[in-house]
Amino acid sequence: MSGENTLYATICVPCKGSGRVTFIDGERKCFNCGGKGWVYVDNPEKRSDKMKLSEAIKELEKDRNKIYESKDVKLYTSKGKYLHFSNTIIETQIGCINLDREWEKVLQPITFDEVLNNGKVFKCKHPKIKEEGYWVLSRFISMLYIEEFDSAEIIDIIQKGKFYN
């Protein structure tokens, strides 16, 4: 339920939950539990149905027939799997993305100095390092000695290796 009959609440006393409050026959009812108890309303006139792009995309994954607009850009799907961005003023397509595509976080390289200073796990890519995965600094150094790399090889790994958080 949305529209002018729906308000947004911070808390419903009967179910102690937050959620929508609906006016039905002049009474406030919690959308979560249907309770008629006191409901504290959080400025309903200032709330809107606006959402961030990530939230709109999540909603499109659930129901791919919806359409969203932001200023002069329309967001919608076609053929049930392509996410489109189009300009509503001149009706041209800005781009289209397959919703079924799997995404992966792009790793940003860091320097070895950052590895030493941040104390977090890191990944190292170098042709001489066979083991993939994340390391803590002490394990990484132990691995270098266990693999019996000589000093020149260790220096090469530290200088030319790609390190990632």
| pLDDT tens sequence across 92-102 | 777 777 767 77
Q: Has residue 160 got a pLDDT over 60? A: yes
Work out the percent of the chain whose per-residue pLDDT is above 70. Answer: 66
* Three-state secondary structure call for residue 6: strand
Task: Give the strand pairing for 134-135 and 122-125.
Answer: antiparallel
Core vs surface per residue 19-32: b (16+ CB within 10 A) or e: bbbbeeeeebbbbb
Kindly report which listed range (3-12, 69-78, 87-96, 109-118) carries the lowest average pLDDT score.
3-12
pLDDT at 156 exceeding the cut of 90: yes
Please report which helix (H) or strand (E) contains residue 56, including its range. Answer: helix 53-62
Kindly report, residue by residue over 17-70, the tens digit of the pLDDT: 555 556 555 566 666 676 655 554 444 444 446 678 888 888 888 888 888 888
pLDDT at 1 over 50: no
Q: Residue 2 phi/psi, 5° resolution?
A: -145, 175
Which band of pLDDT confidence, cut at 50, 70 and 90, is reported for residue 132? Answer: confident
**pLDDT of the residue at 155:** 92
Cα separation, 130 vs 126, in Å, equals 8
Helix (H) or strand (E) holding 61: helix 53-62
DSSP string, 95-159: EEEETT----PPPPEE-HHHHHHH-S-EEEE-TT----SEE-HHHHHHHHHHTT--HHHHHHHHH
Contact 129, 91 (CB under 8 A): no
Q: Is 12 exposed, middle or buried (CB count within 10 Å of its CB: 0-12, 13-18, 19+)?
A: buried
